[in-house]
């Protein structure tokens, strides 16, 4: 598969062959689902916590004697039946992490990248170098590349200039080819790869699981 290479002014610089196991059928859809579910589950803090009957503050004194009052029996102010009492079977801190095998993660990444390339959402640039660490310089490059909406910019290495120039743009995320994941590839409207970054992804996809 070939992609057109552009410079940061948006001018064509020829074509380059993309070398990774491309997927153009329904294979990998389930892998993508599993990886995205696992990624989003891992973002959950898992800190929801309720107090049991033994944890709520209060006296251990019996509210009233067992017999003779005409009231229902009561043994504790911390009873779940009472206001301010404990919670029965309430949430406790837990880990929502789901384990996904390396083979499945690789398949999902291949599928996601293949689908975005096929949809025409991937833009390949020769390099992403800015003359100054200014947001308007970064936006100018995106405009030249005709990027509309949200964008994922994948570079081979994040330098200070790029980081400072992009951090004030809410609809843009900067990531390296070594760290980009399936969820990120699916989340944004457009994906801008540098040649160095696409090489890093090709190496990741070429590794044996």
Check: CB of residue 29 under 8 Å from CB of residue 111: yes
Model confidence over 88-144: pLDDT tens digits? 999 999 999 999 999 999 999 999 999 999 999 999 999 888 989 999 999 999 999
Estimate to the nearest angstrom the gap between the alpha carbon of 19 and the chain centroid: 25
What CA–CA distance (Å, rounded) separates 207 from 209?
Answer: 6
Domain stops at, among 31, 60, 95: 95
Check: CB of residue 112 under 8 Å from CB of residue 187: no
Q: Are residues 71 and 173 in the same domain?
A: no
**Into how many domains does the chain fold?**
2
Model confidence over 68-85: pLDDT tens digits? 999 999 999 999 999 999
Domain stops at, among 35, 70, 95: 95
Model confidence over 184-200: pLDDT tens digits? 999 999 999 999 999 99
Predicted TM-score (pTM) of the model is 0.83
Model confidence over 27-59: pLDDT tens digits? 899 999 999 999 999 999 999 999 999 999 988
Closest CA to 143 of 177, 185, 188, 192: 192
Q: Are residues 19 and 114 in the same domain?
A: yes
Q: Are residues 25 and 54 in the same domain?
A: no
């Amino acid at each position: 598969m070939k992609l057109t290479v552009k410079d940061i002014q948006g001018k064509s610089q020829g074509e380059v062959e993309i070398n990774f196991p491309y997927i153009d059928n329904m294979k990998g859809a389930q892998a993508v689902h599993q990886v995205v579910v696992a990624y989003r589950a891992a973002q959950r803090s898992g800190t929801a916590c309720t107090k049991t009957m033994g944890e709520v503050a209060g006296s251990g004194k019996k509210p009233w004697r067992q017999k003779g009052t005409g009231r229902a029996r009561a043994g504790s102010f911390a009873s779940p039946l009472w206001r301010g009492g404990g919670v029965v079977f309430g949430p406790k801190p837990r880990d929502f992490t789901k384990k996904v095998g390396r083979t499945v993660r690789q398949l999902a990444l291949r599928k996601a990248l293949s689908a975005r390339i096929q949809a025409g959402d991937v833009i390949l640039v020769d390099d992403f170098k800015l003359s100054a660490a200014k947001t308007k310089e970064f936006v100018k490059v995106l405009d030249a590349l005709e990027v509309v909406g949200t964008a994922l910019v994948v570079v081979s290495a994040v330098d200070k200039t790029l980081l400072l120039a992009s951090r004030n743009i809410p609809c843009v995320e900067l990531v390296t080819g070594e760290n980009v994941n399936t969820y990120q590839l699916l989340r944004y409207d457009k994906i801008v790869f540098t040649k160095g970054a696409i090489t890093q992804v090709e190496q990741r996809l070429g590794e044996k699981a």
